[in-house]
Structure 1
Amino acid sequence: CPQNNWNLFAFPSECNFSGQKFNLNLVKLIKEGNLVGLPSQQQQGQWMVLIDAAKGCATEPPNLDVYPADFVVCSFYKIFGYPTGLGALIVKNEAASLLNKTYFSGGTVAASIADIDFVQKRKSIEQVLEDGTISFLSIASLQHGFKIIEMLTTSAIALHTSSLATYVRKKMLYMKHRNKKNVCIIYGQEASKVADLKTSPTITFNLKREDGTWFGYREVEKLASLSGIHLRTGCFCNPGACAKYLGLSHSDLVSNFEAGHVCWDDNDVIKGKPTGAVRISFGYISTYQDAEEFLKFLQSSFVSKPIASSNGHTLSMNTLNLVDNQSQQVVPDVRLKSIIIYPVKSCQGFSVQSWPLAAGGLKYDREWLLQGSGGEILTQKKVPELASIRTLINLELGKLFVESPKRKDKLQISLLENLTHLTAEVDVYGQRYEVESYDENVNTWFSEAIGRHCTFMRCSSSKKSLCTSTGQNGRLCRDTRSKLSFVNEGQLLLISEESVSDLNSRLSSSNGNGKQHVLVDAMRFRPNIVISGSTPYREDNWKRLHIGDAYFTSMGGCNRCQMINLHQNAGQVIKSKEPLATLASYRREKGKILFGVLLNYEDGSSGEETVAERWLQVGQEVHTST
């Protein structure tokens, strides 16, 4: 009989993507059978209603006396900010009898027999639905959250958070670039309704440059983290709303996936369209000062400003040119100041007065690495302890020496032997390498040095990565036909002392308000070669370099990450927000924070042809062309 059919209608009280609040009168309409727009056969039977209040409960929980839903889902994390992963399903007593699970697990049965089909479930609904061991420690902490809510009252929290969101939303809508174009595109909140104190405490948006292109949400997230601002980016596990507000068709979504875009990756803009958005949310503990800090962050990081010249006229940023663009220039006063080799990826390097070049750049540079027990490549991002491992190569002895403060003995590895000759392949940032491993004694030494199990590997000299125009999974490679060791992109990194000095002057200016004085040297950026005698950032325009009898091709600027914010002090790895935060204020280009230049060595060989070994030496002149 159709009247005995049971139907379930589920809807959210508030959209977690846009913050749009839905009319809870839907509960009454559905319960009374007053559905509009559904085929008649779908209206037959009785309807149950579930309100997903995971987002809405934080500021406006549904009144079940007025809106008698059968089920309500809520998230305690959204209400209190703690603990994560804990929520509740509220079930109306009359609806409980309809919940008959077809499976059972630990804690939900009164009796069961293993080898025949016999099971007796427990009596009460909560006993039947709570599978396994409940999170009793997290549940015990909820009482403290409820005390705060009881003290503040939900209505006051709603007023407070919506006031903050309304204030920020208005300010964002008024933000303009110097060409009067809008900076912020806000989703789901009409400008005419921003004064409504019933508005959501959530603001979802994307940002535009003055030329109309989009700032990627990953760029926004990266810069926000440097300012101590926590926000969420992407589609927030709501693909339907994400596609709707971003105007992404089915074909767009499929095309993005085929282009390599998946959840949690860095592909934030594809074919000129954002693939996700940025979301901020205010809670009961948020303050007006928090709102102001966020607005100042947007203003300083993303809003273009007019630049006044000395004669009082306004200049556009793109009319400024800090370096001379000559088709050919020789700068005789630029010299090679330092050469640094990093034999083991992410470990300390060592300086030399002279060093030979090989097909992959500086000989033995990043020729070894450590692989974790799960097959992952270990770097300082994951294992800061790598920064304490010191390395040195003695070419005359033909040995690599490795030291660690956690090991009394110094490891000595022959450059020519001691390999087990067991070969394997590893993937390093989309590039495939054939590697050879060492015996267990070497692996044990490194495992004790970094406090986790690892395997020491060497890039096979005959099978170094050959970087072509497109890498694995369509990953674009800057190089055309160059051999790479375990470097990320270019074979060598060049840093200019004058550019470092300019950065330090900016750091000094920004720290003049009583903050701790932060200065950096060139070694903070893990360069292979350091030059002196140029002007700040002149290296940005260099296309080709001639040092001694060696030639190098510039592959463009080096995109910096938070690794440059790590430094060692008394054996401890210290994290800060500098110098990346300052670099982001003036060295940002299309989502990248550039400092230093990546180079590839032109070894002049083709196929099996043997070329005489060339050397770099400190003091050599650096000739450049643009």
Structure 2
Amino acid sequence: MTLQLSDLYIYPVKSLGGIRLTEAQLDSRGLRHDRRWLIVNERNQFMTQRQTPGMAFLKVEPAYNGFLLRHSGRPEMLPLFVPFEATPDKTLFVTIWDDMVFAWRARPECDEWLTAALGQTCKLVYMSDMVCRTVEPEFNPNNQLVSFADGYPYLLVGQNSLAELNSHLAEPVGLDRFRPNLVFSGGEAFTEDTWYEFQIGEVTFRAVRACARCVLTTINQHTGQRHPHTEPLRTLASYRIEEGKAIFGQNVTGPATGILHVGDTLTVKSYKAL
């Protein structure tokens, strides 16, 4: 069966809702506008649904030269417009995992809206093109940059891999639990685990490492509630383990330029060594 790019997603603000695209441009950190914004707490440490599951209620909608944030559980809150890029009026240092990078502050009304939406003091910050945050060295021979994503510019998931996982679950889950950028159709379940170099349309990528999954996958993206039995993480851990962690999808690096379209053919060029 032909392999084909079936979906493209960006997540303009880390750990908030995504935007589904029909085409996407590539830049030096992944898909253009993906995870360039970050919410930090009063100590300037990054926030995600891992610690703040209520972030699942914050949905992202496309708008001209930016996007709208909307609280799906509080319709009385007016949506907030955020531009795709910030201005360097105010800067601060923020912490994301083991990295400390400088970031540009959003408008004060963005901080106020998010503080009200999440019920705790927080700030919205932007990663400029001047920031040098790189993929971990052992998987980064080309000095690939990364945005505020956990560690890699792209996440690849196969539709048949999700279908296979759902066949083990009492309650099927959607792709939104796994936050992929690149979704493909065709091929056997988890065939992406074997790939190394592959091409989508005219653009060449490398699948460098399986994605270790965390508690975020257990959060219902509509209710903000964690599954009482930590599904689907519990089931993944029963048969999809690598280096002691449950895995699903592949972390991917790629070039700094190019364009992708839903419907592009995917061609595997080489495979990982066994």
Q: Confirm or deny a common fold (TM above 0.5).
A: yes
Matched, 1:566 2:228: no
Structure 2 CA distance, aligned partners of 1:556 and 1:568?
26
Quick one: distance in 1 between partners of 2:81 and 2:101?
Answer: 24
2:59 to 371, 390, 394: 390
Query: What is the deviation of 1:385?
Result: 1.2
Structure 1 gap segments, 5+ residues each = 1-331, 470-476, 508-516, 604-612
1:551, 1:344 → 2: CA distance?
26
For 2:221 and 2:11, the matched residues in 1 are separated by: 17
1:541 alignment counterpart: 194
Residue 266 of structure 2: aligned partner: 622
Deviations 1:289-308 (A, max 9, x none): xxxxxxxxxxxxxxxxxxxx
Task: Map 1:11-30 onto structure 2 (within 5 A).
Answer: none
The 5-angstrom pairing of residues 402-551 of structure 1 reads: 402-405=69-72, 406=74, 408-417=77-86, 419=87, 421-467=89-135, 469=137, 478-480=139-141, 481-507=143-169, 517-551=170-204
Matched ranges for 1:105-254 at <5 A: none
Match of 1:575 in 2: 227
Secondary structure of the residue that 1:483 maps to in structure 2?
Answer: coil
Higher percent of residues as helix: 1
Deviation at 1:445, TM superposition (A): 0.7
Q: Deviations over 1:415-470 (max 9, x none)?
A: 345x352122222111232210023211101111111110100011221413452x
Report the CA distance between 1:384 and its aligned residue.
0.9
Contact 2:177 2:221 in 1 (8 A): no
Q: Which has the higher strand share?
A: 2
Opposite residue 70 of structure 2, the aligned amino acid is E
Instruction: State the partner residue of 1:607.
Output: none
Partner of 1:601: 254
- State the match for 1:246 in structure 2: none
Q: What's the TM-score once normalised by structure 1's chain length?
A: 0.41
* 1:360 and 2:29 aligned: yes
Over the residues paired in the alignment, what is the CA RMSD in angstroms? 1.7
SS state of the match for residue 33, structure 2? coil
Question: How many angstroms apart in 2 are the aligned matches of 1:458 and 1:485?
Answer: 10
Contact 1:438 / 1:457 at 8 angstroms: preserved in 2?
yes
- The Cα shift of 1:574 comes to 3.7
Separation (CA, whole Å) in 2 of partners of 1:441 and 1:345: 19
Rate the CA distance shift 1:602–1:383 in 2: closer, same or farther, 3 A.
Answer: same
- Displacement of 1:506 in angstroms is 2.1
Change (3 A) 1:416 1:558: closer
| Kept after mapping to 2: 8 A contact 1:435/1:458 | yes
2-structure distance, mates of 1:403, 1:506: 33
> Judging changes above 3 Å, is the alpha-carbon distance between structure 1 residues 451 and 359 closer, same or farther for their aligned structure 2 residues?
same
Tell me how far apart the structure 2 counterparts of residues 416 and 371 of structure 1 sit (CA, whole Å). Answer: 17
* Alignment partners' CA distance in 2, 1:572 and 1:382: 12
Secondary structure at the aligned position of 2:8 is classed as strand
Give yes or no for contact 1:568–1:574 (8 Å, CA) kept in 2. Answer: no
- Measured in 2, the distance between the counterparts of 1:365 and 1:340 equals 8
> Which whole-Å CA distance do the structure 2 matches of 1:622 and 1:389 have between them?
32
C-alpha deviation, 1:526, in angstroms: 0.9
Q: Do 1:555 and 1:597's aligned partners in 2 also have CA atoms closer than 8 Å?
A: yes
Select which of 67, 91, 94 maps to 1:400: 67
SS of the aligned residue for 1:393 comes to strand
How far has the Cα of 1:572 moved from its partner?
Answer: 4.3
1:379 aligns with 2:27: no
Partner of 1:606: none
By relative contact order (CA 8 Å, sep 6+), the higher-ranking structure is 2
- For residues 572 and 467 of structure 1, what CA distance do their matches in structure 2 show? 30
Report the secondary structure of 1:597's partner residue. Answer: strand
SS in 2 for 1:409: coil
Amino acid at match of 1:615: I
AA at the equivalent of 2:11: Y
Matched letter for residue 591 of structure 1: G
SS of equivalent residue, structure 2 residue 55: helix
Alignment partner for residue 370 of structure 1, among 35, 39, 42?
39
* Paired letter, 1:355: A
Identity %: 27
Q: 1:528 to 1:616 in 2, by over 3 A?
A: same
Tell me the TM-score normalised to structure 2 length. Answer: 0.91
- In structure 1, distance between residues paired with 2:140 and 2:173: 30
Alpha carbons 2:56, 2:224 under 8 Å: kept: no
Shift in Å, 1:410: 1.4
Give the whole-Å Cα distance in 2 for the aligned partners of 1:445 and 1:590.
Answer: 40
1:522–1:530 CA contact under 8 A, matched in 2:
no
Looking at structure 1, the residues matched to 237 and 120 of structure 2 have their Cα atoms a distance apart, in angstroms, of: 34
The superposition leaves residues 283-340 of structure 1 with CA deviations (integer Å, 9 ceiling, x where unpaired) of: xxxxxxxxxxxxxxxxxxxxxxxxxxxxxxxxxxxxxxxxxxxxxxxxx700011111
Distance 2:224 2:96 in 1: 27
CA distance in 2, matches of 1:568, 1:484: 25
